[in-house]
Structure 1
Amino acid sequence: MRTILAVWLLCSAVASAAVAAEPSPELIAYGKSLVEAGNCAGCHTADQAKPFAGGKRIDTPFGAIYAPNLTPDRETGIGAWLDADFTRAVRTGTAPDGSLYYPAFPYPYFTHMTKDDTLAIRAYLGTLAPVVSRNKPPELRWPFGHRGLMRAWNFLFFTPGLFEPDQSKSAAWNRGGYLVTGLGHCGACHTPKNYFGADKTAQALSGSELGGWYAPRLDGAARTGLQSWSADDITEYLQSGRNAKSHADGPMAEVIVNSTSKMSDADVRAIAEYLKSLPPARRETIVTPPDEAEMKAGQAIYAKFCVACHEADGSGAPRIYPPLPANALLQSINPSSTLRIILDGAHTVTTPRAPNTGEMPPYAKQLSDDEIAAVTNYIRNSWGNAGPLVTPAQVAKARGQEP
């Protein structure tokens, strides 16, 4: 009887501990907010009917990688992982079996996250419906498919460690820095990369090409960065997908819909405060204006196709048709995003704060490479703008890329 009682008491204690270990609703809700801030679903959802089940193809300069299953399925997801396994994967890029992830998974940013935040994320992911979805192997060019090379990459380019608050700055600034350099992994798109796909840290957030688009500068550059944007401008853009200066399109539109528009007001304003404090990370390009013939050709095309919405002076209708004068993205050193919009058209992103829609038609079939180059040069160098010359060859290259 004594033995039976002891066993019963032990089982009861284990059961009580298991119940106590269940994450609270508050922790799960906080984890959900972190998952949204990190836009985890954006990469880990291939089928909208199976959120977080992985399988989404992520193209890199070295080949394709497929995002893994984050649902709590024990065989194909993370259901059998220990908390320590999850934290190590997120913050060091190391799988439970000791293999190393490729940095398309942004662990070089997530390393700045606290352990508590990683566990909150895991608590939320544990509430998802388990989905059987086996992870697909990467399709990388030789020799990049050899994961052993990641040890050398990590040695050269990965510095693990938490975000270090600056005690001379406000709590909001430090929160913004934590989100931008950590969970939000903004530099994964907006920081130039070297030959090995690692960040050029000395040029952080100074713009980079990504999948046929150009992620613009987020530093304080006067012409092509955020110097002319106020903190309120940045906040409005992240919350609604538009402001009086620009509209979101391409990959950034997805980030706004799936992530920043769902974040708390305090967190979005913290990001804005942090970004507004950044000095230019590199010099802006000295621009040689197009010749008179090129400008006249572009002006004629603009008058025929663009003036009805954007007006003769480029002023447009803020928050409906983006204004063109002093448009930072339009003047970027890399014209990829501008060409993508002219070729494929644009659809104004809709969010709860800005539900009204708008669109720009595509001109890929109506205009030749020379004509698109001419009108692009015109709008990039009118009304006080100054953007490097765009050639028909650049248009042809953009035309050949997937929209």
Structure 2
Amino acid sequence: MKRLWLGLLVAGLLLVGALALVGSLNVRDEVDVDATSPLAAAGPRDSLVARGAYLARAGNCMSCHTARGGQSYAGGRAIDTPFGSVFSSNLTPDEQTGLGAWSPAHFWRAMHNGRSRDGRLLSPAFPYPSYTQVTREDSDALFAYLQSLPAVIQPNQPHTLRFPYDTQAALAVWRALYFKPGVYEADSQRSAEWNRGAYLVRGLGHCAACHSARNALGASSNALDLAGGLIPMQNWYAPSLASPHEAGVGDWDRGYIVGLLKTGVSPRASVTGPMAEVVLRSTQYLSDADLGAMAQYLKELAPPPAAPLPAAAPAPAATAARGAGLYEQHCVQCHGEQGQGVSGAYPALAGNRAVTLASTANLVQIVLNGGYAPATDGNPRPFGMPPFMLVMDDNDVAAVLTHIRQSWGNQASLVTPLEASRVRSGNAR
């Protein structure tokens, strides 16, 4: 009996200790919103608002905080997660439903600590694990810009997360495990340009939100490695920005990287899928200096350890023949008999890293739903690819993509009908 009570006592003490630890980890570097805290950013109001507008572009804030057909920054867009849907909040200065009653310190705490005005923990679907690196000066400029917008009366929609993910207790545990607040600290061993690029990529750009793999609880084990990962619920693979076999740009000319972020196309690649929206809504509006800084940072990302690519098994003869026939029927007119493409219009498929990625999700997405580069000021009439969802079944999609991945020197694995089916049904994992 004494052992039982001793065991219960130890268990209770461990529980209390764990709760205390979770609590302490959730108030690290906490912002005091009650202290007198004037705007950290100095300068005329108009210039502060203009700076905030630029930073809002850099963070692509409007995309998430504007529902389809809704008013800008009024929230209501559903962000699907593996745990349910999170609805973006109203960022306009309406006092009842938006940020009208917030102070700059409240907004800084949301960016830095992931807490709402009332102290409630925010869902990391709002990427404060990245935004915590934003400086107080930039946070205040962002807030000044949002306060300058027309007020929109639109109540925030409650999230529809499953239990226990809808509880503050679960969020507190998640944050204790995976979130640590901290403003970006410049690396004294690097150039000012590299540090500016790192600040934008890691902070407002929140590139790791897509380009890092996530665990079962939706957290990135190392958000700074940008090693690629499947975007939850979207069934698009955000390739590694460090690996030369995926989307690493270490050997690229800087101008090509800047051009890709500015226009969506370059001599070595073009963007489509979720990245097309990023270029359309965000990076095309950044200054050449900031894009150059981002390019320099991305060029200097440490590549992963070199490893031999596994040999791909050749496709069965029937699949190969079927794929070649489908390519001749639907693809050759634009992409060429040898997969050479048309410069400035249709990408080459021969030697294309996007074609030979280990993940086939993006290829299936493009064949089923079409591929479209963004219409930017630098490329206002991009060429696109029509969808084939109603033309090809899963066996067709698998066969033609296998043909493309194993022709003209490409040596990638075959695509299975099951992979095509998963993407078609929206259940790719």
| TM-score, reference length from structure 2 | 0.85
Question: Is contact 2:248–2:299 with CA below 8 Å preserved after alignment?
Answer: no
* Residue 286 in structure 1 maps to residue 310 in structure 2: yes
**Where do 1:349-388 residues align within 5 Å?**
349-388=374-413
Question: Which stretch shows the higher mean deviation, 370-379 or 76-85?
Answer: 370-379
1:397 CA displacement: 1.2
1:233 CA displacement: 2.0
Question: Which stretch shows the higher mean deviation, 250-259 or 34-43?
Answer: 250-259
Please name the residue that 1:5 is paired with: none
Please name the residue that 2:126 is paired with: 105
Match of 2:178 among 132, 149, 157: 157
Structure 1 Cα separation of the partners of residues 203 and 70 of structure 2: 29
- C-alpha change, 1:230 and 1:200, in structure 2 (3 Å) is farther
3-state SS in 1 of match to 2:108:
helix
Please name the residue that 1:89 is paired with: 110
1:51 CA displacement: 0.3
What is the count of residue pairs matched by the alignment?
386
* Residue 119 in structure 1 maps to residue 143 in structure 2: no
Structure 2 Cα separation of the partners of residues 26 and 203 of structure 1: 32
- C-alpha change, 1:222 and 1:212, in structure 2 (3 Å) is closer
Letter in 1 for 2:273: G
Structure 1 Cα separation of the partners of residues 224 and 61 of structure 2: 25
3-state SS in 1 of match to 2:266:
coil
Structure 2 Cα separation of the partners of residues 172 and 268 of structure 1: 10
Structure 1 Cα separation of the partners of residues 243 and 230 of structure 2: 19
Question: Is contact 1:233–1:243 with CA below 8 Å preserved after alignment?
Answer: yes
Question: Which stretch shows the higher mean deviation, 305-314 or 343-352?
Answer: 343-352
- C-alpha change, 1:385 and 1:248, in structure 2 (3 Å) is same
* Residue 316 in structure 1 maps to residue 337 in structure 2: no
Please name the residue that 1:24 is paired with: 45
**Where do 1:239-258 residues align within 5 Å?**
239-258=262-281
Structure 2 Cα separation of the partners of residues 100 and 250 of structure 1: 31
Structure 2 Cα separation of the partners of residues 22 and 244 of structure 1: 41
- C-alpha change, 1:44 and 1:357, in structure 2 (3 Å) is same
Please name the residue that 2:153 is paired with: 132
1:281 CA displacement: 3.9
Letter in 2 for 1:272: A
Which aligned segments of 4 or more residues in structure 1 are displaced greater than 6 angstroms? none
3-state SS in 2 of match to 1:275:
helix
1:300 CA displacement: 2.2
1:365 CA displacement: 1.7
Question: Is contact 1:180–1:271 with CA below 8 Å preserved after alignment?
Answer: yes
Question: Which stretch shows the higher mean deviation, 125-134 or 244-253?
Answer: 244-253
Structure 1 Cα separation of the partners of residues 151 and 305 of structure 2: 46
Please name the residue that 2:217 is paired with: 196
1:227 CA displacement: 4.3
1:247 CA displacement: 2.2
- C-alpha change, 1:51 and 1:318, in structure 2 (3 Å) is same
Structure 2 Cα separation of the partners of residues 57 and 283 of structure 1: 40
- C-alpha change, 1:225 and 1:295, in structure 2 (3 Å) is farther
- C-alpha change, 1:402 and 1:151, in structure 2 (3 Å) is closer
* Residue 348 in structure 1 maps to residue 369 in structure 2: no
3-state SS in 2 of match to 1:65:
strand
Structure 1 Cα separation of the partners of residues 66 and 44 of structure 2: 24
Structure 2 Cα separation of the partners of residues 144 and 157 of structure 1: 15
Please name the residue that 1:10 is paired with: none
Structure 2 Cα separation of the partners of residues 389 and 132 of structure 1: 52
3-state SS in 1 of match to 2:198:
helix
Question: 1:295-337, CA deviations, whole angstroms, 9 ceiling, x for partnerless residues?
Answer: 3332222122111100112121233111212322222221111
Question: 1:13-57, CA deviations, whole angstroms, 9 ceiling, x for partnerless residues?
Answer: xxxx99xx9952111111111000000001000145510000000
Please name the residue that 2:289 is paired with: 266
Structure 1 Cα separation of the partners of residues 127 and 209 of structure 2: 7
| TM-score, reference length from structure 1 | 0.90
Question: Is contact 1:230–1:276 with CA below 8 Å preserved after alignment?
Answer: no
| Identity value in percent | 41
3-state SS in 1 of match to 2:328:
helix
Q: What RMSD in Å do the two structures reach over aligned CA positions?
A: 2.3
Question: 1:141-195, CA deviations, whole angstroms, 9 ceiling, x for partnerless residues?
Answer: 2211112211111111012111121112111111110011111000001100011
Question: Which stretch shows the higher mean deviation, 129-138 or 207-216?
Answer: 207-216
Structure 2 Cα separation of the partners of residues 185 and 202 of structure 1: 9
Letter in 2 for 1:61: P
Structure 1 Cα separation of the partners of residues 212 and 246 of structure 2: 18
Gaps of 5+ in 1: 1-16
Match of 1:231 among 254, 258, 277: 254
Match of 1:178 among 189, 199, 207: 199
Please name the residue that 2:79 is paired with: 58
Letter in 1 for 2:103: L
Question: Is contact 2:261–2:279 with CA below 8 Å preserved after alignment?
Answer: yes
Letter in 2 for 1:288: A
Structure 2 Cα separation of the partners of residues 107 and 202 of structure 1: 12
Please name the residue that 2:94 is paired with: 73
* Residue 395 in structure 1 maps to residue 416 in structure 2: no
Question: Is contact 2:273–2:372 with CA below 8 Å preserved after alignment?
Answer: no
Structure 1 Cα separation of the partners of residues 120 and 334 of structure 2: 53
Structure 1 Cα separation of the partners of residues 44 and 416 of structure 2: 57
Match of 1:214 among 228, 233, 237: 237
Structure 2 Cα separation of the partners of residues 89 and 179 of structure 1: 18
Question: Is contact 1:243–1:318 with CA below 8 Å preserved after alignment?
Answer: no
Please name the residue that 1:11 is paired with: none
Structure 1 Cα separation of the partners of residues 47 and 326 of structure 2: 56
Question: Which stretch shows the higher mean deviation, 278-287 or 362-371?
Answer: 278-287
Structure 1 Cα separation of the partners of residues 271 and 412 of structure 2: 20
1:283 CA displacement: 6.1
Question: 1:335-392, CA deviations, whole angstroms, 9 ceiling, x for partnerless residues?
Answer: 1111111011123321000112322121122222112101111212323333333210
